[in-house]
Amino acid sequence: MIFGVGMDIIEVSRVSRNLSRTSGLKDRLFTPAEIAYCESKLRSAEHFAARFAAKEAFLKALGTGWRGGLRFDEIEILNDERGRPKAVVHGRVKEFCEANRIVAKHVSLTHVKETAAAVVVLETNTD
Protein backbone atom coordinates (compact mmCIF):
# COMPACT_ATOMS: atom_id res chain seq x y z
CA MET A 1 0.00 0.00 0.00
CA ILE A 2 1.24 3.50 -0.80
CA PHE A 3 2.33 5.37 2.33
CA GLY A 4 3.21 8.59 0.55
CA VAL A 5 4.36 10.28 -2.63
CA GLY A 6 6.68 13.26 -2.77
CA MET A 7 7.98 15.38 -5.62
CA ASP A 8 10.43 18.26 -5.73
CA ILE A 9 12.02 20.42 -8.40
CA ILE A 10 14.90 22.83 -7.90
CA GLU A 11 17.16 25.12 -9.88
CA VAL A 12 20.66 23.66 -10.20
CA SER A 13 22.22 27.13 -9.91
CA ARG A 14 20.53 27.70 -6.55
CA VAL A 15 21.99 24.52 -5.06
CA SER A 16 25.40 25.22 -6.56
CA ARG A 17 25.43 28.79 -5.28
CA ASN A 18 24.40 27.78 -1.74
CA LEU A 19 26.94 24.95 -1.56
CA SER A 20 29.78 27.25 -2.63
CA ARG A 21 28.72 30.15 -0.37
CA THR A 22 27.89 28.37 2.88
CA SER A 23 30.79 26.72 4.64
CA GLY A 24 30.04 23.15 5.75
CA LEU A 25 26.63 23.02 4.05
CA LYS A 26 27.64 20.19 1.74
CA ASP A 27 28.60 18.03 4.73
CA ARG A 28 25.32 18.83 6.53
CA LEU A 29 23.17 17.91 3.53
CA PHE A 30 25.04 15.01 1.94
CA THR A 31 26.83 11.88 3.10
CA PRO A 32 30.48 11.21 2.18
CA ALA A 33 29.35 8.62 -0.40
CA GLU A 34 26.98 11.11 -2.04
CA ILE A 35 29.65 13.80 -2.12
CA ALA A 36 32.19 11.42 -3.68
CA TYR A 37 29.66 10.31 -6.31
CA CYS A 38 28.58 13.84 -7.26
CA GLU A 39 32.10 15.23 -7.33
CA SER A 40 33.17 12.41 -9.67
CA LYS A 41 30.74 13.72 -12.30
CA LEU A 42 31.53 16.36 -14.92
CA ARG A 43 28.45 18.42 -14.00
CA SER A 44 28.51 17.76 -10.26
CA ALA A 45 26.03 20.56 -9.49
CA GLU A 46 23.28 18.73 -11.40
CA HIS A 47 23.89 15.58 -9.36
CA PHE A 48 23.92 17.45 -6.04
CA ALA A 49 20.70 19.23 -7.03
CA ALA A 50 18.98 15.97 -7.98
CA ARG A 51 19.90 14.43 -4.64
CA PHE A 52 18.74 17.55 -2.79
CA ALA A 53 15.40 17.31 -4.62
CA ALA A 54 15.15 13.61 -3.72
CA LYS A 55 15.67 14.35 -0.03
CA GLU A 56 12.98 17.05 -0.14
CA ALA A 57 10.66 14.66 -1.98
CA PHE A 58 11.38 11.93 0.56
CA LEU A 59 10.37 14.19 3.47
CA LYS A 60 7.21 15.17 1.59
CA ALA A 61 6.38 11.49 1.05
CA LEU A 62 6.83 10.90 4.79
CA GLY A 63 4.39 13.75 5.40
CA THR A 64 6.73 15.33 7.94
CA GLY A 65 8.80 17.93 6.15
CA TRP A 66 11.68 19.06 8.38
CA ARG A 67 9.73 18.45 11.61
CA GLY A 68 10.70 15.94 14.25
CA GLY A 69 14.45 16.37 13.97
CA LEU A 70 14.70 14.56 10.64
CA ARG A 71 17.87 15.56 8.80
CA PHE A 72 18.89 15.56 5.16
CA ASP A 73 22.05 13.56 5.82
CA GLU A 74 19.87 10.76 7.26
CA ILE A 75 18.44 10.24 3.76
CA GLU A 76 21.16 8.93 1.47
CA ILE A 77 20.58 8.73 -2.27
CA LEU A 78 22.88 6.11 -3.77
CA ASN A 79 22.83 4.06 -6.96
CA ASP A 80 22.37 0.32 -7.20
CA GLU A 81 24.57 -1.91 -9.36
CA ARG A 82 22.60 -0.91 -12.47
CA GLY A 83 22.79 2.81 -11.72
CA ARG A 84 19.22 3.13 -10.50
CA PRO A 85 18.85 5.57 -7.59
CA LYS A 86 17.85 4.19 -4.22
CA ALA A 87 17.25 5.71 -0.80
CA VAL A 88 19.07 4.41 2.25
CA VAL A 89 17.88 5.82 5.56
CA HIS A 90 19.68 6.35 8.84
CA GLY A 91 19.00 7.78 12.31
CA ARG A 92 15.58 9.25 13.04
CA VAL A 93 14.45 8.85 9.44
CA LYS A 94 15.13 5.12 9.68
CA GLU A 95 13.27 4.95 13.01
CA PHE A 96 10.30 6.79 11.47
CA CYS A 97 10.23 4.41 8.50
CA GLU A 98 10.41 1.36 10.75
CA ALA A 99 7.68 2.70 13.08
CA ASN A 100 5.42 3.27 10.06
CA ARG A 101 6.31 -0.10 8.49
CA ILE A 102 7.69 1.42 5.30
CA VAL A 103 9.01 -1.55 3.36
CA ALA A 104 9.91 -0.07 -0.03
CA LYS A 105 11.33 3.24 -1.19
CA HIS A 106 11.19 4.14 -4.88
CA VAL A 107 13.24 7.07 -6.18
CA SER A 108 13.35 8.67 -9.62
CA LEU A 109 15.76 11.51 -10.45
CA THR A 110 16.10 13.74 -13.47
CA HIS A 111 18.31 16.70 -14.25
CA VAL A 112 19.36 18.97 -17.07
CA LYS A 113 21.61 22.02 -17.05
CA GLU A 114 19.22 24.32 -15.20
CA THR A 115 16.79 22.06 -13.35
CA ALA A 116 16.75 18.93 -11.21
CA ALA A 117 13.71 17.02 -10.01
CA ALA A 118 12.87 13.91 -8.03
CA VAL A 119 9.88 11.74 -7.21
CA VAL A 120 9.75 9.41 -4.20
CA VAL A 121 7.10 6.77 -3.54
CA LEU A 122 7.03 5.00 -0.18
CA GLU A 123 5.21 1.71 0.38
CA THR A 124 4.05 0.34 3.70
CA ASN A 125 3.21 -3.11 4.95
CA THR A 126 -0.20 -2.95 6.58
CA ASP A 127 -0.48 -6.63 7.56
| Structural domains of the chain, ranges and CATH numbers in brackets | 2-124 (3.90.470.20)
Q: What percent of the chain has pLDDT over 70?
A: 97
> Considering 47, 55, 105, 111, which one is annotated as catalytic?
111
Predicted structure pTM score: 0.93
Residue 111 annotated among the catalytic residues of the structure: yes
Using CA atoms, how far apart are residues 106 and 66, in angstroms rounded to an integer?
20
Q: What angle separates helix 32-39 from helix 44-62, to the nearest 10 degrees?
A: 140
- Answer whether residue 67 shows pLDDT above 90: no
With bands split at pLDDT 50, 70 and 90, how would you rate the model's confidence at 113? confident
